[in-house]
Amino acid sequence: MTVYQATASAPVNIACIKYWGKRDTKLILPTNSSLSVTLDQDHLRSTTTSRADPSFTKDHLWLNGKEDEIKEGGRLATCIREMKRLRKEEVEDKNPNEPKISTYNVHICSHNNFPTAAGLASSASGFAALVSSLAYLYALPVGPSTLSLIARQGSGSACRSLFGGFVAWQMGSDPSGSDSLAVEVAPQSHWPDIHALICVVSDDKKGTSSTSGMQRTVETSLLLQHRIQNVVPQRMKDISKAILEKDFDTFARITMADSNQFHAVALDTEPPIFYMNDVSRAIIAVIVEYNRLSVEAGKGYKAAYTYDAGPNAVIYAPKENVKEIVELIAAYFPQKEGSFKDAFGLLSGGQLVGKFPAGFNENVAKRFEVGAVKNLIHTRVGDGPRKLGDEEALLNAEGLPRNLA
């Protein structure tokens, strides 16, 4: 008996031009285009195994070892249904010899290699891995942009995780959503020296979910429409050009300005939405001072912060600056000894010791306690979804999760 099964992994992406607002909440069509950097799956990834079998009585999904309900009409159900439809239309209808596995129920098992407690949104990598594993299972003859149309309906920003490198989500204009998809601006190989330092920030406060928050902004902010119509289109052009020209100074300027503006329209919402806290603000002050030093030396920006719908900072920087940045962050936000995973061998002996660059004005922020920044993750721009071998499958011979722990 043939086993129809495939495993894929997919990356996290962090936007430089932020997605905030839907014009269609069901189809997840955004009010503006957005652009992100795909992060390296070697460090952060979702892995998903999908299997189709005539013996399965219904569709099942396990996430991090726990079964998740697939609600009728919900986002998961939509993605699975759309993938089955593609299998039928693109494969089975065109070639009657192909097995009709689109009629089988599926078992899907997914795992994130980073803890939810890390405060990193896993929905983007999760839906991208789900769609990718089903695409391999169904042997679909379609490219990542087509798959991105489906991943988008799971979680908007998931569509950008279908590509590696630098990725634009074009908002499109068709009410059906057929042109609201991800495209590659440049692959990882074009500018592999873009690294990222994720500062996982502790927070007391339960944040507003991005799904409900962004619609409140759409309904109540008087500034959002101006951003959508008059700011984002030019920024999309300018940052794409900066990426193609490997112009980090412009890339950084736009990335920081757009992060600020996203949080500005969140604040202009009724009631206001705050995602950044005092630790986030202090990280901004540190990066602003770090860049000031460099700009005054005629060298342009050396780092760019960006914040999603939470207090964590992601700092993009050319590889050669990361050691200095890690040490600078550690000077304000001391880390538990041995907690920093030195993935790129920056530190001699692996010991992270706080340090200020020459001329740095240390008074731009106070020194925080251990734990204010819980964790520092050093990663870089990465590739798109990967097909994995059966030895990495998350389902056992019976099509059930290998390890429920």
Q: Which residues bind a second copy (CB under 8 A)?
A: 204-206, 222-223, 226-227, 230-231, 253, 256-257, 260-261, 263-265, 267-272, 274, 277-278, 281-282, 284-285, 288, 363, 365-366
Find how far residue 152's CA is from the centre of its chain: 12
Rounded least distance, CB 370 to a second copy, Å: 17
User: Taking Cα atoms as reference points, which of 304, 294, 293, 375 lies closest to residue 334?
Assistant: 375
> Which of 271, 338 has the CB closer to a second copy?
271
AA letter at 57 = T
Rounded least distance, CB 39 to a second copy, Å: 24
Rounded least distance, CB 81 to a second copy, Å: 38
Decide: helix, strand or coil at residue 153: helix
- Count Cα neighbours of 384 within 13 Å in the Cβ-side half-sphere: 25
Report the C-alpha gap between 306 and 218 in whole angstroms: 21
AA letter at 9 = S
- Count Cα neighbours of 396 within 13 Å in the Cβ-side half-sphere: 7
The single residue listed with the structure tokens 């030895």 is: 391
Report the C-alpha gap between 310 and 312 in whole angstroms: 6
> Which of 226, 237 has the CB closer to a second copy?
226
> Which of 235, 380 has the CB closer to a second copy?
235
> Which of 67, 362 has the CB closer to a second copy?
362
Report the C-alpha gap between 142 and 239 in whole angstroms: 28
**How far apart are the two ends of the chain, measured CA to CA in Å?**
29
> Which of 64, 202 has the CB closer to a second copy?
202
Rounded least distance, CB 256 to a second copy, Å: 7
Rounded least distance, CB 289 to a second copy, Å: 9
Rounded least distance, CB 287 to a second copy, Å: 9
> Which of 85, 366 has the CB closer to a second copy?
366
Contact 185, 244 (CB under 8 A): yes
- Cross-strand partners of 63: 66, 110
> Which of 343, 364 has the CB closer to a second copy?
364
Rounded least distance, CB 41 to a second copy, Å: 32
> Which of 256, 393 has the CB closer to a second copy?
256
Q: What are phi and psi of 256, to 5 degrees?
A: -70, -40
Task: Write the DSSP assignment of 287-344 as a string of letters.
Answer: HHHHHHHHHHTT-----EEEE-SSS-EEEEEEGGGHHHHHHHHHHHS---TT-S--TT
Rounded least distance, CB 335 to a second copy, Å: 21
Helix residue ranges, H only, 16-122:
75-86
